[in-house]
Structure 1
Amino acid sequence: MQITVSGHHVEVTEPLRDYVNNKLAKLQRHFDNITNADVTLTVDKLIQKAEANVHVAGADLFATCESDDMYAAIDSMTDKLDRQLIKHKEKVLGR
């Protein structure tokens, strides 16, 4: 899986990039057909925002989350993507 991490009004440091890569790597345990993921980290005043667009076979999954802490926003975003991925997998296997 290819992961692209970009920042908007925030510098994406190496620890932040590693954290995103580790969290999104856990998504592959549920579904193997993930091709790539585009993650955008944004800071608006005091609000930290994480957005991700994950491309899988047959669908594009999108999740966004806002928090006071960037790491908490990334955690919530990956939880949302995890639930969407499981639902997509059940839908594909049910056909």
Structure 2
Amino acid sequence: MYTLNISGHHVQSGEEVQQLVKEKMDHLARINQQITSIKVILNTEKHEIHRLIVEASVHIPGHDLFATVKTEQQLKPALDALVAKLEKQLVKHKAKHTGRQHHINAEDVESVGEREQQAEFDELVEREVI
């Protein structure tokens, strides 16, 4: 389980917005169950055009992920893009850390070819050829 913190700057984060953000972030939690906290910041810029900025930081033990989306679209497509960016990072992080297998001693692990060569050598010794 993770804690979700949603804040808005120049944006009213009502119940509907919070529920939408929670649904999107739950998707990330299904990808990686080690997520401990997610912080989402919704912001708007009003210069020549109205721009929505959505930022999120995801904390996993020993690592933090961060993504930002700036768009002129509505909140839902912005959240979809944000989740896609974070999902890529989570999948990459998960692949990087699950691929590590710790051997008792790497020198003690023989390859198939080394075993075959050793078997041939043992056979020659038995027949007293060597």
- With normalisation by structure 1, the TM-score equals 0.95
SS of corresponding position for 2:25 = helix
Shift of 1:66: 1.2
Tell me the C-alpha RMSD between the 2 structures.
0.8
Shift of 1:5: 0.3
Identity %: 39
Identify the residue that residue 81 of structure 1 maps to in structure 2.
Answer: 86
1:57 counterpart (57, 61, 65)? 61
For 1:3, give the aligned amino acid: L
Q: Detail structure 1 runs of 4+ shifted over 6 Å in the superposition.
A: none
For 1:14, give the aligned amino acid: E
Higher relative contact order (CA 8 A, sep 6+): 1
**Residues 1:17 and 2:22 are matched in the alignment:** no
Which structure shows the bigger proportion of residues in strand conformation? 1
1:39-54 equivalent positions in 2, closer than 5 A: 39-45=40-46, 46-54=50-58
Aligned residues: 95
CA distance in 1, matches of 2:85, 2:60: 15
Unaligned runs of 5+ in 1: none
Unaligned runs of 5+ in 2: 101-130
CA distance in 2, matches of 1:36, 1:66: 22
- Max Rg structure: 2
